Amino acid sequence: MKALRELSAAQLNKMIKDTQAELTRRKRVDAAANEISAILDKYKIDIKDIGLKQVTKGRIRNSAQNPAKVTKSRDRRRIVKAKYKDPNSQQTWTGRGRAPAWVQSLCLNEGIDISFFKKDNRFRY
């Protein structure tokens, strides 16, 4: 971390603003914790008795259930509609990636290349 003397005025002001925001947030959290504690004391119950639900990054999970780590899927691929079909077995292919075995065998039997297969309307879905 840079020494404070090396920071610009804008950087220092941002740091002050962020620090004040964090202090305000902590005060709200402390106030909420005190309110919750007072309610628990009033009704003479323990926090374990209510099956507290924890909010973890926008997701709610029950703490009494599996405390497994909540992970977000990073797979952003989309499903692509099939463009080609096998007239004999109704298998399909999107036209992306490696050609499936039925496409390769069809091209071999017809004596055509994959590029001609893609242009042929007989195999369009």
pLDDT number for residue 63: 52
Main-chain phi, psi angles of 27, to 5 degrees: -65, -40
pLDDT number for residue 55: 47
pLDDT number for residue 87: 86
Main-chain phi, psi angles of 59, to 5 degrees: -115, 140
**CA-only gyration radius of the chain, Å:** 31
pLDDT number for residue 50: 76
Mean pLDDT of each 10-residue bin along the chain, 125 residues long: 85 95 96 92 86 55 57 81 90 93 92 92 88
Q: How far is CA 72 from the centre of its chain?
A: 4
Q: How far is CA 38 from the centre of its chain?
A: 37
* Residue type present at position 24: T
Q: Considering only CA atoms, which of 122, 71, 69, 125 is closest in space to residue 95? A: 125
Provide the β-strand partners of residue 53: 62
